[in-house]
Structure 1
Amino acid sequence: MPISAAQRHAAKHIDAIRSDLSAWTATIFDFGETAWREYQSADWYAKTLRSHGFTVEEGSAGMPTAFAAHWTNGPGPSVGMYAEYDAVPGNCQAASTCKEPRAGLNEHAGGHTDPHSGLGVGALGGLLATKAAMERHGVTGTLRFTGEPAEKVRGSKPIHAAKGYYDGLDGMLSFHPFYMLPMCNTVRWDTHCGAAYSMIYRFICDQPEDWGKSDGAPIPQSHSAIRAPGANDALMMMYMSSKALRDSMLPHQGGWSISEAILTAGQATADNLPAGLAEIQYMMRMPDLAMAEQATAFLDRNAAHAAQMSGCSYERHWVCKSRPGLANHVMANVVWDSLLAVGAPVWDEEAKAKAREIQSNLGLDPMTEPFIDEMTALVDPKEAEAILRRDLPPSQLNSTSDDYTDMSWHAPLARFYIARPALKAPSGYRYPGWVMNALGGIPATIDPMVATAAKVLAFSALRLMEDAKARKAARDEFETRTGGGVGGSKWTPPLCDYDPPIHFRWPEYVTTQRGRDWWIPTQPNS
């Protein structure tokens, strides 16, 4: 496809603000805020968007760290983009070539792994460039931009979807840094991400005396009496039984998983008092909704039995229920055309020097070309699809999970990946996890991904704005795949029937007399 004047202007705009994009990426990287607690990050985005002329609704859909922004240049098409900005607990890493946490913290605090810092700012750059081009060249239409917290627990998009925040869009553009081959500098074709369910089981031991009831007389010395094991025991029985039975629950191929995190435990203050409260979160990545429902029933049974055995009651609270993704080949081709026009990211000698420094600090021989070759190559979407399908059974329609999939049921959507920095490894060597985290924060190594993603987003958005034929074809395909669009005969409605799970004890930063700290004391050792 020929490049339009508006697209050329957008590319120049991104080049002009590249230093801003770099500084903004570093800002969000340094915040390192985790799911449902991204207060500084959400506030930064809201202020930045307002300063560029967007109207911003903060706390959208009842989520304090979410937002919904829009800008219009008159009647016309509407295109959506979004930012993610949550980090991961236990991955605090400085933008450094050696293993070290960010200043004033240690490795147990939050840090960006994917990195969502680059994801969000890349999207923001594409948004601002699209707006600048629309103003310069008189392109009419509306831009929507949502702030999506808690992606690591698949949190916000199912909720935004259920509340209608994606309805009415002519196209939704979903960018992610590459995280597995062959999904690097390419677009998803048929095999989109699958379903994801996440829930918290809360065990409560508020009537421990009932556990030891019998027809006999009470024992006068209560410390010698039978007593309820309590909530900690319930949690541990739930944890161990579910883990032990996992092989009976999951298929042995396809990449599906269940992982868990213990959020709270204890509350007992003496050895003769049972623990009163404990919580465990499960995250399930499944090929389809039927399997997710079966796995949920399995966990429910385990929770009920663990509670009964330990003198507790239990509650199940939803964190997310997200649908598998819906393909749209027209949208995929729109983005692929844009990626062909923009080209793959390019890493200069400064970036390579940083990479070699990491290798040297790990005791490895620095390489002349330290980055993997795939970072600077484009992969045709159909070729990527064929490679992806090699390891999947024919009946499996989806692979891995990400909650962008909920957007795909409300608007024609394309999901694409731009290379993030990744190092070549000597034979048999595996880099420690901090290396990828650091490469996602060092400006020289992450900025090429951010700028490239911004250009692909802007080119794709402007193509949709300017090409009525492409818009109609994307909408027609969406109508066909859903059996009539939103509410159609083949449409899967939102699964979100729960309130935002914002009230749990999610890991977060706190301010104390010691200064800013993690939710448990994690100041660096003196």
Structure 2
Amino acid sequence: MNQLSQAQSTALAVVDARMAELSAWCETIFDFGETAWREYQSAQWYVDRLRQEGFRVEEGSGGMPTAFCAEWSNGDGPIIGMYAEYDAVPGNCQAADTTRRPRDGLGFQAGGHTDPHSGLGISTLGGLLATKAAMEQHGIKGGLRYTGEPAEKVRGSKPIHAAKGYYDGLAAMLSFHPFYMLPMCNTVRWDTHCGAAYSMVYRFICDAPETWGMSGGDGVKNGPPIPQSHSSVRAPGASEALMTMFQSSKVFREAMLPHQGGWSISEAILTAGQATADNLPAGLAEIQYMMRVPTIEMAEQITAVLDRNAQAAALLTGCRIERHWVCKSRPGLANHAMADVVWQSMQEVGAPVWDKAAVSVAQEIQANLGLSPMQEPFLDALSGLIPPQEAEAILREDLPPSQLNSTSDDYTDMTWHTPTARFYIARPALKAPTGQAYPAWVMNAMGGIPATIDPMIKVAAKTLAVSALRMLEDQTARQSAMDEFNLRTGGGVGGDKWIAPLCDYDPPVHFRWPEYVTTARGRDWTIPSTMPDA
């Protein structure tokens, strides 16, 4: 390990000094619980905070209302990138409590933080501010760029930011995520980075249900002599198109791709008919698909099948079809030099430590679930570090040798624009009695309780700051990372091995994504009635 520089020691002290603030900030974002493309309060909070900290901030970066790009410079020099995520997940509204209950005034179907992105964003903000303070105190030249990334759960913003140049010109990018699977806990990704992902929304629109079944199809000459108001309900509409699409894609899922290769496809019905009475066909229905695959070629093959299914469903039901992209993202690119820098920083900082207060919280959760509280309730893996190469070997045990990428996250788009390290710090997770599993609300709740989530925030912020300062201070480390980036891309951005951004669509911000509204009844959770072009 390298000895900490004076600037790195300063950064560690800054994180310690600001932990009370970071803890309170995490509670704020956790309570917002805003979901993809609708993170209005969360994004504004970051923008205001960053401006107070001396950053120049562009709001609505890349044409996304809840994105931002913040920059700060201490003179000419290398620029290090970090980012915040802050979107929550519908149907996961959970209070920061040791029992299952939604946040005050809401139901369980509202948004809630699962990963949690509330802790992710505040961890990176803590690392960013500690790096800035150390640069100022020790006269380190260079700059910081910090992007606000909405809609990560649908891999939304990073492909768009990448295509619009927000990651260009960086010396390095640091990508942190709370641990969500073993062995990726207190370690750095080595070779096997996340894969590609495509997501789209198919919209079925039934413009003229009154023409269904008329032999001439013109709705006039060959129509029934007397309109039968209750006959029209027998005409198929958008709901029937959606269900046809849903069922046919389920049927053909097994044939879309081989079983080997670690891929998945999932769907979400955004709307299911807008009829206001039982005798009117639905005029609009939408279904979203998300595919997570190792390669772009696999994503293209699945897309072709879904397109055919959608066209067939529209023809069968007298509807027209629109396809709108939500994301098209690239598989990730490794950088061992960057991984080494972060791994060395992680060893200097150490693993998170959960104190007696955190243990008491965990034991209370176990007791409330009818379990016997454990003396050491947290997973043993949370308190240790695992070298990247060892984690890589375990990760690859279940993967075919030909598969280069696995699982899904949109940080991968950053890896094609600058040397990038992806690392994971432990979040609180409990040991389960043999043969039992915890309900999802348990981890969600611990992501909002200060005693259980603060240890992750502290360690992640310190690891980010030490890594960033190493890249700023160590020209050799910086050059090694860039040399490897150039080698893997065949000459850097635009090289003969480089994959260009796949994003050829506008930000999908106008769909009927669920959101919070304020009514006479207070804060409520809703699905908007329409999108501008409906």
Measured against the shorter chain, the TM-score band is over 0.9
The reply on whether 1:510 has 2:517 as its aligned counterpart is yes
| TM-score computed with the length of structure 1 as normaliser | 0.97
2:187 and 2:261 map into 1 onto residues whose CA distance is: 21
**Could you tell me the percent identity over the aligned residues?**
74
- The offset of 1:265, in angstroms, is 2.3
2:227 and 2:242 map into 1 onto residues whose CA distance is: 25
- The offset of 1:250, in angstroms, is 3.9
- The offset of 1:219, in angstroms, is 1.9
2:341 and 2:394 map into 1 onto residues whose CA distance is: 21
The reply on whether 1:25 has 2:32 as its aligned counterpart is no
1:220 corresponds to: 225
2:263 and 2:35 map into 1 onto residues whose CA distance is: 24
- The offset of 1:225, in angstroms, is 5.5
1:427 corresponds to: 434
1:124 corresponds to: 125
Is 2:294–2:403's contact at 8 Å kept on the other side of the alignment?
yes
2:480 corresponds to: 473
1:160 corresponds to: 161
**Which blocks of at least 5 consecutive residues in structure 1 are unaligned?**
522-526
Q: Secondary structure at the match of 1:236?
A: helix
- The offset of 1:127, in angstroms, is 0.1
Is 2:176–2:422's contact at 8 Å kept on the other side of the alignment?
yes
2:424 and 2:125 map into 1 onto residues whose CA distance is: 16
Number of corresponding residues: 521
Q: Secondary structure at the match of 1:339?
A: helix
Q: 2:383 aligns with which of 352, 376, 382?
A: 376
1:54 corresponds to: 55
Is 2:256–2:302's contact at 8 Å kept on the other side of the alignment?
yes
Is 1:130–1:462's contact at 8 Å kept on the other side of the alignment?
yes
Root mean square deviation, CA, Å:
1.2
1:261 corresponds to: 268
Is 2:115–2:444's contact at 8 Å kept on the other side of the alignment?
yes
2:227 and 2:491 map into 1 onto residues whose CA distance is: 67
* Aligned ranges 1:221-370 → 2 under 5 Å: 221-223=226-228, 228-370=235-377
Amino acid at match of 2:225: P
1:345 and 1:261 map into 2 onto residues whose CA distance is: 36
2:467 corresponds to: 460
2:212 and 2:70 map into 1 onto residues whose CA distance is: 53
2:431 and 2:18 map into 1 onto residues whose CA distance is: 31
Is 1:195–1:292's contact at 8 Å kept on the other side of the alignment?
yes
Post-superposition CA distance 1:85-128 (Å, at most 9, x none): 00000000000000011011111100000000000000000000
1:457 and 1:496 map into 2 onto residues whose CA distance is: 28
1:524 corresponds to: none
* Aligned ranges 1:116-195 → 2 under 5 Å: 116-195=117-196
2:170 and 2:53 map into 1 onto residues whose CA distance is: 22
- The offset of 1:259, in angstroms, is 1.0
1:390 corresponds to: 397
2:162 and 2:428 map into 1 onto residues whose CA distance is: 32
1:83 and 1:340 map into 2 onto residues whose CA distance is: 23
1:33 and 1:254 map into 2 onto residues whose CA distance is: 34
1:416 corresponds to: 423
- The offset of 1:213, in angstroms, is 3.1
Amino acid at match of 1:207: A
1:365 and 1:270 map into 2 onto residues whose CA distance is: 52
- The offset of 1:266, in angstroms, is 1.4
1:447 and 1:254 map into 2 onto residues whose CA distance is: 37
Is 1:254–1:391's contact at 8 Å kept on the other side of the alignment?
no
1:77 corresponds to: 78
Q: Secondary structure at the match of 1:245?
A: helix
2:531 corresponds to: none
Post-superposition CA distance 1:204-257 (Å, at most 9, x none): 000223432314842224337575300000001111111122122243344421
- The offset of 1:327, in angstroms, is 0.4
Q: Secondary structure at the match of 1:324?
A: coil
Is 2:512–2:527's contact at 8 Å kept on the other side of the alignment?
no
Which stretch shifts more, 501-510 or 252-261? Answer: 252-261
1:46 and 1:177 map into 2 onto residues whose CA distance is: 23
Which stretch shifts more, 446-455 or 247-256? Answer: 247-256
Q: Secondary structure at the match of 1:305?
A: helix
1:103 corresponds to: 104
Amino acid at match of 1:4: S
2:532 corresponds to: none
Question: Relative to structure 1, is the Cα distance of residues 438 and 254 closer, same or farther in structure 2, using a 3 angstrom cutoff?
Answer: farther
